[in-house]
Amino acid sequence: MSKKLTAYIGTYTKGDSKGIYRLSMDDSSGTIDDVQVAAELENPTFLAVTSDQKYLYSVTKVENQGGVGAYSIEPDGQLSLLNYNVADGSPPCHVSLNDSNNFLFSANYHQGTGIAYKLTDNGEIAAVTSTVTHAGSGPHERQEKPHAHYSGLTPDEHYLCVVDLGTDEMVVYSFDNGTLTKHSEQAFKPGTGPRHIQFHPNGKFAYVNGELSSEVIALSYDSETGSFNELQYISSLPAGFGEESIGGAIKLSADGKFLYASNRGHDSIAVFQIDADTGHLTLVDHTSTEGSFPRDFTIDPTGKFLLAANQDTSNIVQYTIDYSTGKLTPTGVTVSVPNPVCVVFTN
């Protein structure tokens, strides 16, 4: 028996967007309907939902201040504002949660910082418990200073990984009840511009996408020491492609067999097969996102569908996933959402 899944879409509000949107999708047929505004706010570009599906957290801008906002998810799918935690300056670009849903983490691209926030039992954002500030630069013109782009815990939740596009490194912090202490640094090739990290379900491997180099970096992870080692660099673009393109999102299938990476410029999603023993990647395919600038995409909770969000053409395109090959096939289902930049399912 099929059921309705709910997804929330973060957007840029420089154009027609009003804020956070939501849609409903049938988990069997893939039919999408009920696309509407769930909450009005400025530039909610990244979202995170608690595992109990009660609360949603968003990057937000409030007048001249930036920070994070907390919302309760109502039975009808609409969002009710709980509170903001904002400060002077630009808003962050990424938010994530711990498994217990009592801490929120953000990464601020413009300020080069990572922040941990304590959450209350009723979902509100309480005090900042720790702030870390990066230093350094890289060879690319966009690497004139630190640009923290991702902040999230390792699977064991002992460490927080803050991936910095500006300094070509991932700084690893030990995490102890809200306190962040620098543990180690993982450097990448100069000019890589690392953007996000995703961990393999087995907890032994991790993958970072280089926004500036359009590469995926495979890493091994040792949970006992909190250390990473490079295994492989592999391009997410087709051989011989010489036009301008930058990396977007990176995601793994739930079974850990495949990795997906979006290319903004080539406007595609690269499909890689993961070697379960070595963690190495092998390119399988490229699939057009049928739109421009796929900043993000997500795989639904059943693992059957992938939704690609094209920021510049304001469309979200649906694909089915072949469980055996990982390849994507467009279903013909496309929905219009203005300037989408993040898609998260609640279920």
Average model confidence (pLDDT) across the chain: 97
pLDDT-based confidence at residue 297 (cuts at 50, 70, 90): very high
Q: What is the mean pLDDT of residues 218-243?
A: 97
The answer to whether residues 247 and 264 touch, using CB atoms and an 8 Å cutoff, is: yes
Mean pLDDT across 290-296? 98
Tokens linked to 318: 């649906």
Q: Is the pLDDT of residue 320 over 80?
A: yes
Taking the C-alpha atoms of residue 311 and residue 293, their distance in angstroms, rounded to an integer, is: 5
Provide the strand spans (E) within 188-267: 194-199, 205-210, 215-222, 227-235, 246-252, 258-264
Q: Is the pLDDT reported for residue 318 higher than 90?
A: yes
> Averaged over 281-292, what is the pLDDT?
98
Our CA angle for 305, 308, 314, nearest 5°, is 135
pTM above 0.75, yes or no: yes
Kindly report, residue by residue over 188-210, the tens digit of the pLDDT: 999 999 999 999 999 999 999 99
Looking at residue 83, its pLDDT comes to 98
Q: Taking Cα atoms as reference points, which of 78, 66, 63, 102 lies closest to residue 23?
A: 78
**Chain segment 76-122, per-residue pLDDT in tens:** 999 999 999 999 999 999 999 999 999 999 999 999 999 999 999 99
Q: Span 176-181, mean pLDDT?
A: 97
The residue assigned the tokens 């280089």 is 210
Of 280, 335, 291, 332, nearest in space to 313 by CA: 291
Q: What gap in Å lies between CA 1 and CA 3, rounded to an integer?
A: 7
User: Quick one: what percent of the chain has pLDDT higher than 70?
Assistant: 100
